[in-house]
Amino acid sequence: MSLFLVNRYLGEEEDGSVSKETMSKALLAKLQKKAKEKQKRHSAEQREHLHDHPAEQVDAQKKRKADVDGGLEPQQHKKRHSETVASCSVEPVEETNIQHQEEIQSDISPEATTDTLPGFTLVGGFESKPVPKVERVLPQWLAEPHVIHTDIKNNLISISDVPGLCAQLLKNLHSNGIQHFFPVQAEVIPAILESAQQGLLIGRGGYKPRDICVSAPTGSGKTLSFVIPIIQVLMDRVVCEVRALAVLPTKELAQQVHRVFASYAEGTSLKVVMLAGQKSFAAEQASLSEHRWNMRRSLADIVVATPGRLIDHMTKNSGLCLEHLRFLVIDEADRMIDSMHQSWLSQVMGAVYRSRAEPGSVFRRTEAACITSASLSPPQTPLQKLLFSATLTQNPEKLQQLGLHQPRLFSSAHGQADSAAASPTHGHDRFNFPQGLTEYYVPCTMSSKPLLLLHFILRMKLHPILCFTNSRETAHRLHLLLQLFGGVQAAEFSSQLSPGDRKKTLKEFEQGKIQLLISTDAVARGIDISGVKCVVNYDAPQYIRTYIHRVGRTARAGKTGLAFTFLLRVQEKNFLQMVVKAGSPGIQKQVVKPENLRSMEGQYEKALQKLADVIKEERAS
Ligand SMILES: Nc1ncnc2c1ncn2[C@@H]1O[C@H](COP(=O)(O)OP(=O)(O)OP(=O)(O)O)[C@@H](O)[C@H]1O
């Protein structure tokens, strides 16, 4: 028995002799015939379409498969469908109804709907279409930088060939052993000098000078490319005010840059002050300014600071006045962008544009905004940002956080015309590696790592070696283990050491008293240690930027150097891909045969046993 009974209007009964049943059957046969014809027509059309568009054939097959309920195969689906139908024991009348409904549904073809209902979008019928790849389009200043040569040795420029440097600076350069400028210096020094041609108070033509971004390999001499022009421009100042501020991510880097500024400011009246927590807060405050007869007098022309200490001085109102700031140097700029959450830049900008000068005065300062003829007319003291990094991001969104004004980019990563980096549409950042650097990876196991390191020092005599670990704990254990093994002058370096100990350790390493310095990434960036022949990544770095800065501690200033990265089997594929994608000229495999390590194994086992006791004792104390 059927669930529903549908009484259908069967037309006028012309002849009373024809029974209702006969008419039903006739109608059913007619409808079935019509449905079959329609089905045939539809499949013929589909075949024709797929023949014209073979690529869609695969999609159509996939779609057909996906359409099957619950992911069943077509056969199963058919079976289930027929079972369902059978279990309902549908009377012929209902069967007619089902077919009739199908017919009605198939009648609503997309064409028919859009034809009959113009302006309506048909929902459904989604098919995967090949979507054109979105290509990265960089702003022109990033896509077309001023190119810097990476080959230092063959592109030296005599210091006397760079115009605009005074006799005192040339003397200081000579006394620091510098006869030639490196390519980055030869490009960037004249650019900064040119932007200050009109003196300190106004930019070229009365306008704000363009900001400058520099992306050049590690050890290519970026420090002097801002130190020299800043000293040159500020040298003629009459009143002492803070006119240059260099911000660096770590205390060690701030000390290093402070030293360079101080040595080139010799023989001038410029005063360089460091705010990095090396001295007490009060001592730093006293070095910034003094008060006499109720007047503040600045004692600093150039301030070198870490962001944290800088904010301390600004918030505690310690006498740091930035209203006359002309140059803001952001060294290791990509790292500084990452620390932007500390909002140090917005605080600096706030202090710079807090000027009390009357509107229209030449000392008036307004932040660069949309350029109109009105906004350009009043001359004002300009602030120029100078950004430096070996791994400067090309991500405009990140750079945008720095609020750059019509920036100019000097970059070596775009140097080779055939390189993918030359393309502005390239999907990821590529960097240049120092020319004198040779990169190797060494396949290893966890237990063979210390033996490999010992092999490099004792057999291959590659010292001084700067060895990087990913954690303080690994650095400490490795140091203890090598001490227990004996025969190697090793030291460890991490943020756990006191500032004094850190300074002493670096000095001893530089003097050659330490053969192996085991360090965390505390010295990975910017630190310039002369004479490092070899860098060992005891733990493979996770990020390409970390790798570039670590290996960049060797092969500096046009010299040669070796970098070895110990890789576990599981790390090999990803690590090598990462390095090649970043633009490495090539990383070679260096296999150390197990028999080369065998003779050290006995002594190493003993050292390992002792290490367990030492660590226990350390934990207990
Ligand atoms: N013109 C030059 N002649 C000789 N030596 C130079 C010259 N310029 C810089 N150097 C030396 O090159 C070394 C590297 O310079 P610097 O530290 O400025 O490199 P960098 O590009 O800042 O590197 P990083 O990206 O690692 O910070 C330093 O020891 C520096 O004294």
Q: Determine the pLDDT at residue 414.
A: 57
If you measure from the C-alpha of residue 225 to the centroid of ligand 1, how many angstroms do you get, rounded to a whole number? 9
**What crossing angle do the helices spanning 222-234 and 167-175 adopt, rounded to 10°?**
150
Residue 223 alpha carbon to ligand 1 centre in Å: 6
Neighbours of 420 (CB within 10 A): 13
| CA of residue 318 relative to chain centroid, distance | 35
pLDDT the model gives residue 71: 39
pLDDT of residue 288: 94
What integer is the mean pLDDT of 493-515?
Answer: 90
Distance from the first to the final alpha carbon of the chain: 90
Q: Name the residue of 528, 535, 550 to mutate for ligand 1: max ligand atoms within 8 A of Cβ.
A: 528
Indicate whether 371 pLDDT > 80.
Answer: no
Gap from CA of 182 to ligand 1 centroid (Å): 9
pLDDT band at 544 (very low <50, low <70, confident <90, very high): very high
What angle separates helix 20-52 from helix 55-67, to the nearest 10 degrees? Answer: 140
Q: What is the pLDDT of residue 432?
A: 86
**Is the pLDDT higher at 76 or at 442?**
442
CA distance 313 to 277: 11
Q: Which of 239, 291, 292, 228 is nearest to 269 (CA)?
A: 239
Ligand 1 touching residue 349 (CB < 6 A): no
- Strand, coil or helix: 490: strand
Ligand 1 contact, 451 CB (< 6 A): no
Does the structure show a pLDDT above 90 at 423? Answer: no
pLDDT at 240: 94
What pLDDT, on a 0 to 100 scale, did the predictor assign at position 384? Answer: 94
Q: Is 390 in the pocket of ligand 1 (CB under 6 A)?
A: yes
**Cβ of residue 222 lying under 6 Å from some atom of ligand 1:** yes
The CA 387 to ligand 1 mean position distance, Å, reads: 16
pLDDT of residue 496: 83
Structure tokens at 327: 């140059």
Task: Calculate the CA 411 to chain-centre distance.
Answer: 16
Among 160, 222, 529, 535, the mutation site with the greatest number of ligand 1 atoms within 8 A of its Cβ is 222
Residue closest by Cα to atom 4 of ligand 1: 178
CA of residue 188 to ligand 1 center, whole Å: 14
Best-predicted range by mean pLDDT among 8-22, 60-74, 254-268? 254-268
Confirm or reject: Cβ of 321 under 6 Å from ligand 1.
no
Decide: 556 in ligand 1 pocket, CB within 6 A.
yes
Which atom belonging to ligand 1 lies closest to the Cα atom of 553? Answer: 26
Ligand 1 pocket residue status of 256, Cβ below 6 Å: no
Residue 244's H or E segment, with its range, is: strand 244-247
What is residue 102's predicted lDDT score, i.e. its pLDDT? Answer: 44
pLDDT tops 70 at residue 600: yes
Kindly report the protein residue whose alpha carbon is nearest to atom 1 of ligand 1. 181
**Residue 578 alpha carbon to ligand 1 centre in Å:** 27
What is the rounded CA–CA span in Å between residue 188 and residue 211? 12
- Ligand 1, atom 16: closest residue by C-alpha: 221
The answer, yes or no, to whether any atom of ligand 1 lies below 6 A from the CB of 182, is yes
- The confidence band for 131, taking pLDDT boundaries of 50, 70 and 90, is confident
Q: Who wins on pLDDT, 87 or 207?
A: 207
Instruction: Considering only CA atoms, give the Rg of the chain.
Output: 37
- Residue 530's SS3 state is coil
153-157, 214-218, 372-376: range with lowest mean pLDDT: 372-376
Determine the pLDDT at residue 76: 44
Lowest-pLDDT choice from 239-248, 362-371, 403-412, 422-431: 422-431
Quick check: 554 and 562 in contact, CB under 8 A? Answer: yes
Q: What local confidence, expressed as pLDDT, does residue 11 receive?
A: 52
Residue 218 Cβ inside 6 Å of ligand 1? The answer reads yes
In whole angstroms, give the CA distance from residue 123 to residue 227: 65
Highest mean pLDDT among 104-113, 354-363, 510-519: 510-519
pLDDT over 90 (residue 104) = no
Mean pLDDT of 335-363: 75
- Over range 494-505, report the average pLDDT: 87
Lowest mean pLDDT among 3-17, 75-89, 182-196: 75-89
Task: Name, of 410-419, 455-464, 548-557, the range with top average pLDDT.
Answer: 548-557
526 C-alpha to ligand 1 centroid (Å):
10
Q: How far is the CA of 11 from the centre of ligand 1 (A)?
A: 100
> Among the listed ranges 41-50, 388-397, 501-510, which one has the minimum average pLDDT value?
41-50
Which atom of ligand 1 sits closest to the CA of residue 156? Answer: 1
Is the N-terminal amide bond of 464 cis, ω within 30° of 0?
A: yes
Q: What is the pLDDT of residue 95?
A: 41
**pLDDT of res. 342:** 62
Which atom of ligand 1 sits closest to the CA of residue 216? 21
Rounded distance between C-alpha atoms, residue 535 and residue 555, angstroms: 10
Whether the CB of 223 sits within 6 Å of ligand 1:
yes
pLDDT at 331 over 90: yes
Any ligand 1 atom below 6 A from CB of 219: yes
CA of 142 relative to ligand 1 center, distance in Å: 24
Report the separation in Å between the CA atom of 218 and the middle of ligand 1, taken as the mean of its atom positions: 8
- Tell which wins on pLDDT, 150 or 300: 300
Q: Mean pLDDT across the chain, nearest whole number?
A: 82
- Kindly tell me if the per-residue pLDDT of 192 is higher than 80: yes
Per-residue model confidence (pLDDT) at position 16: 47
Residue 21: the pLDDT is 72
CB atoms closer than 10 angstroms to residue 580: 12
Q: What pLDDT, on a 0 to 100 scale, did the predictor assign at position 362?
A: 54
Which range (146-160, 191-205, 254-268, 534-548) has the least confidence?
A: 191-205
pLDDT at 218: 96
Asked whether 557 lines ligand 1 (CB < 6 A), one says yes
Mean pLDDT of 196-205: 72
Residue 188 pLDDT class (50, 70, 90 cuts): very high
| ipTM of the complex, rounded to two decimals | 0.99
Instruction: Determine the pLDDT at residue 397.
Output: 83
- In terms of Cα–Cα distance, which of 265, 176, 272, 280 is closest to 228? 265
| pLDDT at site 340 | 67
Q: Is the pLDDT of residue 48 over 80?
A: no
Contact in structure between 394 and 400 (CB atoms under 8 Å): no
129 CA distance to ligand 1 middle (Å): 53
**Nearest CA among 453, 559, 606, 566 for reference residue 515:** 453
The residue whose CA has the least distance to atom 23 of ligand 1 is 219
Which residue from 179, 189, 223 has its CB within 8 A of the most atoms of ligand 1, so it is best to mutate? 223
**Higher pLDDT pick, 540 / 48:** 540
pLDDT-based confidence at 355, cuts 50/70/90? low
Q: How confident is the model at residue 10 (pLDDT cuts 50, 70, 90)?
A: low
pLDDT confidence tier of residue 53, bands split at 50, 70 and 90: low
| Ligand 1 centroid distance, CA of 488 (Å) | 30
Average pLDDT value for residue range 183-205: 85
- Say yes or no to pLDDT of 465 above 90: yes
What is the pLDDT, as a whole number, of residue 412? 86
Mean pLDDT of 562-586: 94
Which of 159, 185, 224 to mutate to test ligand 1, by most ligand atoms within 8 A of the CB atom? 224
* Residue 228 CA to ligand 1 centre (angstroms): 13
Listed residue (478, 487, 506) closest to 566, CA to CA:
478
pLDDT in tens, 444-456: 999 999 999 999 9
Tell me the percentage of the chain whose pLDDT exceeds 90: 53
Whole-number Å distance between alpha carbons of 457 and 487 = 10
Residue that is written with structure tokens 């200081």 in the block: 172
Mean pLDDT of 5-25: 59
User: How many whole angstroms from 418 Cα to the centroid of ligand 1?
Assistant: 28
**Is residue 251 over pLDDT 60?**
yes
